[in-house]
């Protein structure tokens, strides 16, 4: 995100986004304690869709202060998603393999992070429209996951009905 300074034409934009994201993450963690603890994959996708929607809207509006605040609002839902998924892993995985599962999740995150950085290196980021496009792809991917999961649940339900 350091490239935000380039297309917002403000040397403090990156710092402002980091501050808004930190505040959003704190708010998300606080809000999360009032939410139920058992969500489905489709409901997890809703948190990601809402987070991406803020970034799509901010890129359409194009006002720098709204874009900066949108990153903070997006962070609220990303934090809720993160906490919920980690809590789900903790409750579903046996204690004997929990450390290995968290290690694999962390390893995947570390391995995928450079791919994202390299992708942004290849993309010419000179406008906020790039965030809108990337966020739109995130929304589409989440909708696809929700549809696939619905087919899986329907198939599982039909199999259980036969027994």
Structural domain boundaries enclosing 22:
4-93+127-162
The answer to whether the CB of 83 falls within 8 A of the CB of 30 is no
Does some domain include residue 112? no
Q: With respect to residue 141, please indicate whether it lies within any of the assigned structural domains.
A: yes
User: Whose CA is closest to 17, among 31, 4, 30?
Assistant: 4
For the record, the structure tokens of 24 come out as 């959003």
pLDDT given at position 23: 95
Rounded to an integer, what is the distance from CA 118 to the centroid of its chain?
A: 19
Q: Looking at the domain assignment, is residue 109 inside a domain?
A: no
99 inside domain? no
> In sequence order, which ranges of the chain are alpha helices (DSSP H)?
4-8, 13-32, 41-61, 64-92, 98-122, 129-162
State phi, psi for 34 to the nearest 5 degrees.
-100, 0
d(Cα 36, Cα 110) in Å, to the nearest integer? Answer: 29
In a domain, 122, yes or no: no
Helix 98-122 × helix 64-92 angle, to 10°: 150
Number of structural domains found in the chain: 1
In a domain? residue 33:
yes
User: How does pLDDT run across 42-90, given as a tens digit for each residue?
Assistant: 888 888 888 888 888 888 887 888 888 888 999 998 898 888 888 888 8
Residue 121 lies in a domain: no
Pick from 151, 163, 159: nearest CA to 41: 151
Per residue in 79-133, pLDDT (tens digit) is: 988 888 888 888 888 889 988 988 998 898 888 888 877 877 777 666 677 778 8
Residue 110, in any domain of the structure: no
């Amino acid at each position: 995100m350091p490239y935000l300074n380039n297309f917002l034409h403000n040397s403090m934009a990156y710092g402002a986004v980091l501050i808004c994201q930190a505040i959003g993450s704190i708010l998300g963690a606080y809000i999360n304690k009032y939410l139920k603890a058992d969500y489905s994959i489709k409901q997890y996708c809703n948190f990601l869709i809402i987070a991406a929607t803020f970034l799509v809207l901010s890129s359409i509006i194009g006002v720098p202060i709204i874009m900066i605040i949108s990153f903070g609002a997006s962070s609220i839902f990303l934090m809720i998603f993160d906490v919920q998924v980690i809590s789900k892993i903790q409750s579903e995985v046996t204690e004997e393999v929990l450390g290995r599962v968290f290690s694999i999740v962390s390893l995947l995150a570390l391995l995928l992070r450079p791919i994202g950085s390299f992708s942004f290196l290849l993309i010419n980021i000179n406008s906020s429209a790039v965030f809108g496009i990337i966020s739109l792809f995130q929304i589409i991917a989440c909708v696809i996951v929700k549809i696939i999961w619905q087919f899986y649940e329907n198939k599982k339900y039909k199999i259980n009905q036969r027994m």
